[in-house]
Amino acid sequence: MNTTTALSPAVLPRRHALLRHTGLALSGSLLVAISAHISFPLFFTPVPFTLQPLAVLAIGLLLGPAIAFSSLSLYLLEAMAALPVLAPMGAPGPLHIFGPTGGYIIAFPFVAALAGWLYSRGRRMPLLSNFAAALIAAAVADLLLLTSGSAGLMTLLHLSPAHAFEFGMVPFLPGEGLKVAAAAALAAGFTRLRQPNTSAE
């Protein structure tokens, strides 16, 4: 009894942190799954328009690199298990991962983690506002997403690098710019709301 009581103060915070990490990771994977179903095909590219990039970037900026990576890795596991978490167009489960959008989907954990890592660094720079830091972080991470997706198209469809970028990156640049800005605004607003509490601690 005495040993249990003595260990409780050390064990409970770790257990609470694990539960929080797990809950946030599950919530993030659910958000990406929902965003995948907000999609429509584009006649000029085999890659459909979806809100997944917005969700991935927002998760990275809001949850930080560790939880974001866990969340999107969980999402990949859900996709591999053929759960209904992918865009309704295309083959189900693992076959979808090896389709035209596979290069994008596989990059999700790394994109989210990169966005979170860059944002955490950028917020420490006195010359950058929270929005500017989030905007730069999201833009760089989104560039990784588009590059990975284009590389996937190049491999799958045996395209030249120029044609891969033409189909996998260029058509999405205007829309991705809006998603980057939206994710940055969301992250900056959330950070601003948390700052009074942080400074009071």
Alpha helices in 123-169 (DSSP H): 130-157, 161-168
What is the reported pLDDT for 144? 98
Residue 137 in any domain: the answer is: yes
Distance separating alpha carbons of residues 135 and 180, to the nearest angstrom: 7
Q: What is the DSSP letter of 45?
A: S
C-alpha distance from residue 137 to each of 51, 61, 78, 100 (Å): 18, 8, 27, 26
Expressed as residue numbers, the domain containing 124 is 23-36+51-191
Neighbours of 19 (CB within 10 A): 10
Predicted TM-score of the model (pTM)? 0.87
Distance separating alpha carbons of residues 148 and 151, to the nearest angstrom: 5
Residue 121: in which H helix or E strand, if any?
Answer: helix 102-122
Distance separating alpha carbons of residues 173 and 28, to the nearest angstrom: 24
Q: What is the mean pLDDT of each successive set of 10 residues along the chain, which is 201 residues long? A: 49 79 95 94 86 98 97 96 84 81 96 98 93 98 98 93 93 95 97 65 31
What is the reported pLDDT for 103? 95
What is the reported pLDDT for 10? 55
What is the reported pLDDT for 172? 93
CATH code at position 109: 1.10.1760.20
Distance separating alpha carbons of residues 65 and 77, to the nearest angstrom: 18
What is the reported pLDDT for 7? 47
Residue 41 in any domain: the answer is: no
DSSP E strand stretches across the chain: 39-40, 49-50
What is the reported pLDDT for 17? 85
Residue 42 in any domain: the answer is: no
What is the reported pLDDT for 198? 44
Residue 109 in any domain: the answer is: yes
Residue 197 in any domain: the answer is: no
C-alpha distance from residue 20 to each of 13, 14, 42, 96, 162 (Å): 10, 10, 38, 31, 44
Residue 70 in any domain: the answer is: yes
Residue 8 in any domain: the answer is: no
Distance separating alpha carbons of residues 169 and 150, to the nearest angstrom: 6
In degrees, rounded to 5, the angle at the alpha carbon of residue 70 between the alpha carbons of residues 196 and 15 is 65
Residue 108 in any domain: the answer is: yes
Name the domain count of the chain: 1
